[in-house]
Structure 1
Amino acid sequence: MIILCFFLAHWYLSVLMQTFFLHRYAAHQMFTMSKGWEKFFYTLTFISQGSSFLSPRAYGIMHRLHHAHADTENDPHSPEYSKNLFDMMWKTRLIYNDILNGHDSVPAKFKKGVPNWTFMEWLGDRWPVRLAWAGAYTLFYIQFATSPWLFLLLPFHFLMGPVHGAIINWYAHRYGYTNFKLEDTARNLLPFDFLMMGESYHNNHHKFGGRPNFGGFRWHEFDPAYPMILLLNKLGVLKLRLGRDEAYM
């Protein structure tokens, strides 16, 4: 039971920070916040994602490219231009690393306004730090696992961020239903998104790229991250940008 609770906590905290901070804030700028709160959520992302920490700066830039070039050869992660899931993940990794290390040729317009805390970007990408997180997860399992089979969950802890990205970028472009006709293959993967904190409503999001509520177009579409955003807006932690229902570019 302890291992299951730990796995679920890591899964949902990681995907929450991915959708809230990396996706809706860094990539789409659906709301603003002070530099102090930005550093707070940077730190929370580092803690939540651990060994699979994704740079908000690099993620934001790469995701903007995805929206601008969805399902074309310039899309950093399109199933249409990959042999299989792992091929797509490897290509995504190479593009992400180029952006992270400043070896890219991405136009400046895609980099405008992305958050950048140099220290946390550096810390989160250090291999000794990633290995330390992986070691901590392993020690936790050694202490509390009641069956050897539970250790099969460890790879998901190690690669939590990329796993979440692969689910949406591969499966939500191949399976599911659509509310809107688009020029790309984005679909809503789950009728009720109990798994990805609203990220599964990919067709909705590609239609309205700046809309902070990914669900809400059918009675069963509930975006769990949206009420949290509304609460943080009411508390003054962030400020929603009203009328953001357009695509990013």
Structure 2
Amino acid sequence: MFNTFDIYMAILIFFIAHWFLSLFFQTFFQHRYASHRMFTMSKTWERIIYLLAYIFEGASFLNPRAYALMHREHHAYSDTEKDPHSPHFFTDIFQLMKSTIITFRDHLNRTKDPEARFQGNYPEWPLIDRIGSSIASRLLFGAAYTWFYIAFVPAGSEWMYLLLPIHYLMGPLHGAIVNWCGHKYGYSNFDNNDKSKNTTPFDLLMLGELFQNNHHRYPNSANFGKKWFEVDPVYPIMKLMHMAGIIKLKKAI
């Protein structure tokens, strides 16, 4: 029989695993691969990673094409009125999230015509894209997260249910944190003609994504850290995958 401490640890491990696995596939697949093509991989490995991204992102699966289009717009118009999610044009992070979701949905539903320079060279898998973006899929994953908490949260610890909305909105929350903090707080190594910042040491919690100033300077570099103390925890994993032949890293332009 599990004691209360074991139960708390199980829930904490589940939450942390979901947070970092969802974030890893978002930064590795949707961001570094779909948006920037920092590396290449075979069609087989692309499908494997695609499926894993769907599984671990779950209720907040992000369509790679829509993500890539929006992210390329973000780089082209960083911190201007055309930027889909610059924090300097919104009163709070919730308004930023709302605007980002609307832009993403426009690209997802193809109701917005992106500029030609932003189109192409992103992975597409119509079956997974359709399933992963469906309301049914999102509700099923949400129900699974909820069942886990109902099954394990002990009586008197109902406050732990407050973690559930984070599970439901994991992807949008990651994006909001990166776009809000990464363009408002921290320091700059480079003058990029925008307001991008490096938010160290909180970057470790976001797997390198908060090195926004570095990334906007070198958008095709697989290593987001540039100073000796700036550690991008995803880059060593990518190096190992490169050595194993799973991916082939490109030289940054």
Instruction: Normalising by structure 1, report the TM-score.
Output: 0.95
Aligned counterpart for 1:106 among listed residues 114, 119, 133 = 114
The answer to whether the Cα contact below 8 Å between 2:54 and 2:132 also exists between their aligned partners in 1 is yes
Which amino acid in structure 2 is aligned with residue 133 of structure 1?
Answer: F
Aligned counterpart for 1:228 among listed residues 223, 234, 237 = 237
2:14: which partner in 1?
6
1:149: which partner in 2?
159
The answer to whether the Cα contact below 8 Å between 1:192 and 1:222 also exists between their aligned partners in 2 is no
Task: Output aligned runs, 1:1-249, within 5 Å.
Answer: 1-146=9-154, 147-191=157-201, 193-215=203-225, 217-242=226-251, 244-245=252-253
Distance 1:139 1:92 in 2: 29
Distance 1:172 1:106 in 2: 25
Secondary structure of the 1:116 match is coil
Which structure: larger Rg? 2
**Per-residue deviation, residues 187-234 of structure 1 (Å, max 9, x unmatched):** 01123632011111111101111000001x222211110011111111
Secondary structure of the 1:195 match is helix
**Per-residue deviation, residues 25-78 of structure 1 (Å, max 9, x unmatched):** 000000011111111111111111110111111101110000001011111111
Distance 1:59 1:164 in 2: 13
4+ aligned runs moved over 6 Å, structure 1? none
Q: RMSD of the TM alignment (CA)?
A: 1.0
**Per-residue deviation, residues 141-195 of structure 1 (Å, max 9, x unmatched):** 0111231111110000000000000001011111111111221111011236320
Distance 2:147 2:236 in 1: 35
Which amino acid in structure 2 is aligned with residue 233 of structure 1?
Answer: H
- Count of residues in Structure 1 that have an aligned counterpart in Structure 2: 243
Distance 1:239 1:57 in 2: 21
Q: Identity of counterpart residues, as a percentage?
A: 50
Which amino acid in structure 1 is aligned with residue 187 of structure 2?
Answer: Y
Secondary structure of the 1:219 match is coil
Secondary structure of the 2:27 match is helix
Instruction: Normalising by structure 2, report the TM-score.
Output: 0.94
The answer to whether the Cα contact below 8 Å between 1:78 and 1:170 also exists between their aligned partners in 2 is yes
